[in-house]
Homo-oligomer: A and B are copies of this chain.
Amino acid sequence: MTTATSALLESMLVTSNRLIRIAAQATGSTTPSAVWRTLGILSTDGALRVGDLAKASRVSQPTMTKLQQNLVEEGLARRIGDDSDSRVSLIEITAAGQRGLEEWRHELTAALGPLFSDLTAEETRTLERAVAIVQARTKTISSTSTNGRKVA
């Protein structure tokens, strides 16, 4: 590993940190951001069991259990039993969750947008590719899919 790569990694972390903090503050949102991240996954991937959701979000299972409880409490997600294994619950986004997610995306865009409104097409491409590069290297495999359902 070159010193350059090393420095790059460090600046990526520092910059990531700032971005997150700015976003957190800018969207005066009371609901925690982990909620939206999780809803985003549910919205894209459909119903998932707690364990798989944890893997997809790259957090520990206990963290996801907690998160998912919050989601259900606030009506943003719903639990569905799994006929083939009653230890399991699939988590599914609700209509309210979808709406909330979209609202949050708007807020986020409104908050961070101004900082990035002057991006050239070329800069946008660069950022998109950078995200893809990092994503590829932080991906998780996961999936233990099941299908049986029953409302719990």
Contact = CB atoms under 8 A, between A and B. Distances in A.
A15 B33 CA distance: 13
B5 A105 contact: no
A13 B23 contact: yes
How many identical chains are in the complex? 2
A51 B50 CA distance: 43
Describe A's contact surface by its main secondary structure: helix
A127 interface: yes
B123 A133 contact: yes
A117 B15 contact: no
Interface in A1-30: 1, 4-6, 8-23
Nearest to A111: B9
A119 interface: yes
B15 A124 contact: no
Given A1-B117, A10-B105, A108-B9, A129 B131 contact: no
B21 A58 contact: yes
Given A127-B133, A129-B126, A131-B11, A17 B37 contact: yes
Nearest to A135: B15
A86 interface: no
